[in-house]
Amino acid sequence: MRGWEAALLLATGFVILGSAAASAGSLPWNGAYLGFEGDFDATTITYTNTGTPNQNLDGALLGVQGGYDWNLGGLVVGFAGDATFGNLNTVVRDGNYITESGQINALGMLRARVGAPMGSFLPYVTGGVALTSLEQGEVCPDPIAAPYGFCNHGFASDPNYPMGSSPGPFDLKQRKTLVGGTLGAGFEVAFAPGWTLQAQYLHTFFPATTYVLGLDSDGTPLPPSTAHVNIDEGSVSFLKRF
């Protein structure tokens, strides 16, 4: 699991929230809210396939967040939804010539949350459902550029490829929508009437997903790969309460 970058962003948010809390009075923590959100996401993709290199997709996503709270007197319950967008991507080498890639361009969540209001300060725990779109790709160069290995079987024996044949070149991709869960905690603080700042940490996890990218240049299916995706996220949001 990789998450120190997300934790650093969250710690920075805590400092901002602490200084802002002194400048605002008590907040009712009731009703709807809407605002902007910035995330730093550290994504780790591991594979059940022996020898397949892991992928790390790290970077920023930007988007919006909205929700609704009910103050039950000493306890705030509510729900929140957010959608963030960007371009988290990486390319890794698998052996001498094959390269494999991954990309996430959107992440959405719908979460419940429960908090204990302390005047202008609201610590909370949260959890719910997460949705993302993950692309996986594999590239095998022209055999002229790959004198040996999987991309040029002129120098190796393989039951799927006669001597002198090659599965390359190919450039195959497949994108899938993943649905998983998310758990975390955060703080929200009022810094002006009707305005709050929020910082939170979330760990998001998705079930194992199998990718079958397609056929190589000889018409032979590439072997399937099964990916396990985990995301550690730190976020800061600027929210308007109504």
Residue 148 lies in a domain: no
In a domain, 242, yes or no: no
pTM of the model: 0.81
pLDDT at 24 over 50: no
Q: What is the extent of the structural domain holding 215? A: 4-140+167-232
Q: Given this model, what pLDDT does residue 12 score?
A: 59
At 113 the pLDDT is 97
Lowest mean pLDDT across 26-30, 120-124, 174-178, 197-201: 26-30
CATH number of the domain enclosing 175:
2.40.160
In the chain, how many domains are there? Answer: 1
Higher-pLDDT residue of 218 and 62 is 62
Note the helical H segments in 121-166: none
Q: pLDDT grade, residue 142 (50/70/90)?
A: confident
- Alpha helices by DSSP H, 49-161: none
Q: Say if residue 238's pLDDT is above 80.
A: yes
Residue 189 lies in a domain: yes
Residue 241 within any structural domain of the chain = no
User: What mean pLDDT is reported for the chain?
Assistant: 84
Token pair of 40 as six digits = 């730093």
> What is the rounded average pLDDT of the residues 124-145?
89
Whether 83 is in a domain gets the answer yes
214 sits in the region (left: phi over 0; alpha: psi -120 to 50; else beta) called: left
The percent of residues in the chain predicted with pLDDT above 70, rounded, is 78
Which of 75-89, 148-162, 214-228 has the highest average model confidence (pLDDT)? 75-89
pLDDT in tens, 197-210: 999 999 999 999 99
Q: Which residue has the higher pLDDT, 4 or 190?
A: 190
Q: Kindly state whether residue 147 falls inside one of the protein's structural domains.
A: no
Q: With 90 as the cut, is the pLDDT of residue 155 above it?
A: no
Would 205 be classed as within a structural domain?
yes
Would residue 61 count as lying in a domain? yes
**Mean pLDDT, residues 11-34:** 65
3 state SS for 179-231:
EEEEEEEEEEEEEECCEEEEEEEEEEEEEEEEECCCECCCCCECCCEEEEEEE
The pairing of strands 55-71 and 170-192 is unpaired
Q: Is the confidence at residue 146, as pLDDT, over 80?
A: no
Cα–Cα distances in angstroms (integers) from residue 59 to residues 11, 95, 124, in the given order: 17, 26, 25
